[in-house]
Structure 1
Amino acid sequence: MKKNFICFLAIALLVTACSKKGDKVVSGEENQSGRTPAAEATAVIAAGTTQQNIRGFGGANIRGWIADLTAAQRTTAFDPANGIGLSVLRVRVSPNSSDFAAEKPTIDAAKSYGASVIATAWTAPASMKDNNSLIAGKLNTSSYADYAAHLSNFCSTVGGVTAISPSNEPNISVTYESMNLTASELAAFVAAQGSNCGAPIMAPETFNMNKTYMDTYLSNTTAASKTSFMCGHIYGATPYVYSVGKEVWMTEHIYNTNDANGWADALGVAKEIHDCMNAGYNMYVWWYIRRSYGPMDESGNITKRGYVMAHYARWVRPGYLKISCTANPATGVYVTAYKSGSKIVVVAINQNTAITYQPFTVSGATVTGFNRYRTTSTANLTSDSFSITGGSFGINLPAQSVTTLISY
């Protein structure tokens, strides 16, 4: 009897200890160091508190400067079932209208997978500028209507452009295709011709999400009324909240030009996407889709950076809503959450060098379990599933990993 009582007591203590870590504890991997995984503060997900609409996660295909994506590479880039699942394609509006039609194969392929297409002009045709050059210079005011017709011609030729930007990074001077426009000059063009460019205007697309430039641009109330989306890049900038009653799109960035299969940098890309989402941005767009430092290498293989982007792009599809979630429940752990109808998607980053036990609670939605995908330095999108009860659960996040949970 005494022996049975001791066994019963041991079992009771074990159950009590486990219950302190949530209704369902799923480890999925052993702590190879032999240490107990660190327990962190609870990540609280409130599905009833919605934040921004998600337009998508994407990259650029600048056909006139590098070779176009092949048919197989388009599938790898945009297929949400077996590829990266990019849901935004950014393309260049060439200053030569004879180039326009060549953009269609990749544009049509991207759209067939549900991606949206955004277009950026680096420069107006030289004949429309004050220096008669494709580099630097300003748009002639007398050419406003002609330039709008040029942009509209691009949109009608390729079809289905979600938004168009009249000028890429107008606030810096470079030695390639460009225009140097002040915020007031860019706003003057949009005020005069923004309704005639063939697609909704996204602007001003500064290289560093420059708030002063954007504020000045919006001070032209006519230009503001003709601008559907605010957009910019984050070179040398930290994502920040910019609330002006319009969606904010991050339309270009390169984390660095190191080999895209370096895992430490890939984790940095994950954190950058996390930061953009927590700043309220509706879109995140990488620079070249296919590049040694991009989501796809020159041979068309998905890189570590590509697998990181897939953690968001495959499952946080256009139209999902970001929902309230504890963004940084503990040192080295970063979490965002999203929903579409009753489906919840959670993306968790663990930058720590040890396995980290992370508790979660979900309110405002009924969740009975999750499909789980994990990427580490040695594995890509490995999957399993687990059930939960009562809206509380905990999982071990592998050391230096990205995990996506999709409710079922």
Structure 2
Amino acid sequence: MTTQMTTVKISTSLLAFSLLFTACSKNKELAEANVNTTKGTAAIEAGTVQQTIQGFGGASIPIWIGDLTSDQRTKAFSATSGIGMSILRVMVPTSSGQFAAEKPTIDAAKSFGAKVIATAWNAPASMMDGLKLKTSSYGAYAAHLSSYTSSVGGVYAISPWNEPNYSASGWMGATATEVANFVAAQGDNCGAPIMAPEPFNMQQSYFNTYLSNATAKAKTSFVCGHIYGATPYNLGNIGKSVWMTEHYTNSSISGNDWGNAMTAAKEIHDCMTAGWVAYVWWYIRRFYGPIDESSNITKLGYVMAQYARYVRPGYTKIACTANPTAGVYVTAYKSGSRVVIVIVNQNNAVTYQPFTLNGASVTGFNRYYTTSSANLTAAPFTVSGSSFGINLQPSSVTTLVSQ
């Protein structure tokens, strides 16, 4: 979706001690004595495995707003010095003469281990009748998509339509049946695995109709869509993993607006809780995005990093109490023996959150938190046994990574 078409994102050791995690009952009592928020325990069951995470990312569309610089690519995709994005979304241009513009950022993203997904907003004009793909052009359109993937060195997956159900878009539209018919006929000839149908609103009926075409479903690697106007929800047992491939929270608010960044944090939590495997923001570099036009990582970017740096592709989400305390939202993940917990605290006060962890053994966590005044601040701590607690900073996102 284009910006124009959618205006619719220690000082003293004593203080440090009071804010760190603790497993012992004495410290727990001290924490609880200073916090009045009603709380429940966040129970994590490491043995109950849910979806496999594919990653977190954003889009770069050079022909619309210019390409990312080398510095911006590093800040976007480095998991040590940047946000740690593991997905890059790009556009398939209508002209082959524009294909090369995509390659520098694609190559850079791949060098950091990111997956590249490509979406076409339109077919070449000769293949369209108004805003519809001609049935007689199915083969030519597939060849166009395949040519693109070859020119840029390959992509992880390709989407033949962007929001085909958004009739006011000004780009190529289609019914779910029409998208399915194309994929059934030409899905093997597009040069990359198919991701589809990428509808506006993550419209359930659109997914269901698309997937009712058994041939198209068989040729679809995963389903994807955008949550403009929708709250993340579980699509049910549809037989495919679900990627959220485009959204922004507000194109009129700076990426450094803390309230908006916290809205995005909760949105990422909701997507993961809904069982989805990926979250992709709109423009990577934009004043309302994770990197601004001056190449600075914004508050939104640091919030995304709380997930992207530490919940890497291939990690699995594990069962966890999603909302154990008023204003507190938790998801948990694992890779081998490593456990990662991401906690969004919407409360405007320090909030104590107790945990239990079953099915995994940890002796401590590296803690990273972002607030309106701190970015990925680190504070490791030790635990003993399967129960521990944490004093969450007011209005914050915290990530715990087991040591």
Normalising by structure 1, report the TM-score.
0.90
- Does the CA-based 8 Å contact 1:338-1:344 persist in structure 2? yes
1:288 paired residue number = 283
Once residues 351 and 392 of structure 1 are traced to their aligned partners in structure 2, the CA distance between those partners, rounded to angstroms, is 23
2:63·2:101 contact (CA, 8 Å) conserved in 1? no
Counterpart of 2:163 (choices 154, 161, 169) is 169
Alpha-carbon offset, residue 39 of structure 1: 5.5
**Residues 367-376 or 239-248, more deviating:** 239-248
Please list every run of 5 or more consecutive structure 2 residues that lacks an aligned counterpart in the other structure. Answer: 1-21
Secondary structure, aligned partner of 1:260: coil
- Number of aligned residue pairs: give it: 379
Which structure 2 residues correspond to residues 165-314 of structure 1 after superposition, within 5 A?
A: 165-174=159-168, 176=170, 178-242=171-235, 243-257=237-251, 258-314=253-309
Map 1:6-405 onto structure 2 (within 5 A).
22-23=23-24, 35-38=34-37, 40-131=39-130, 137-174=131-168, 176=170, 178-242=171-235, 243-257=237-251, 258-405=253-400
Please list every run of 5 or more consecutive structure 1 residues that lacks an aligned counterpart in the other structure: 1-20, 132-136
Quick one: distance in 2 between partners of 1:25 and 1:191?
63
- 1:175 Cα deviation from its structure 2 partner: 5.1
- TM-aligned CA deviation for residue 40 of structure 1: 1.6
Q: C-alpha displacement at 1:295, in angstroms?
A: 0.5
The change in CA–CA distance for 1:198 and 1:41 in structure 2 (over 3 A counts) is: same
Counterpart-to-counterpart distance in 2, 1:226 and 1:175 = 27
- 1:45 and 1:337 in contact (8 A); partners too: yes
* Bigger Rg, which one: 1
Task: Kindly provide the amino acid, as one letter, of the partner of residue 355 in structure 1.
Answer: V
CA deviations over 1:226-278 (Å, ceiling 9, x no partner): 11111000000011111211110000001112111111111110000000000
Instruction: Using the TM superposition, give the Cα deviation of residue 173 of structure 1 relative to its aligned residue in structure 2, in angstroms.
Output: 2.2
What letter matches 1:108 in structure 2?
A: D
The DSSP-based 3-state class of the residue aligned with 1:76 is helix
Q: CA deviation at 1:25?
A: 7.4
SS of structure 2 residue aligned to 1:193 = helix
- Greater than 4 Å deviation, 4+ residue runs: 24-27
Aligned match of 2:18? none
Question: Helix, strand or coil: the match of 2:399?
Answer: strand
SS in 2 for 1:38: coil
Deviations 1:183-232 (A, max 9, x none): 11111111100010011100000011011111111111111111111100
Q: Aligned-pair RMSD on alpha carbons?
A: 1.7
CA shift at 1:35, angstroms?
5.0
State the secondary structure of the residue aligned to 1:89.
strand
Following TM superposition, by how much is the alpha carbon of 1:26 offset from its aligned partner in structure 2, in angstroms?
6.8
Name the CA distance, whole Å, in 2 between partners of 1:43 and 1:30. Answer: 16
Map Cα deviations across residues 308-364 of structure 1 (whole Å, 9 max, x no partner): 000000000000000000000011000000000000000001101111000011111
TM-score, normalised to structure 2, is 0.91
**Cα pair 2:337 2:360 within 8 Å, conserved:** yes
Return the offset for 1:399: 0.7
Q: How far apart in 1 are the matches of 2:205 and 2:402? A: 41
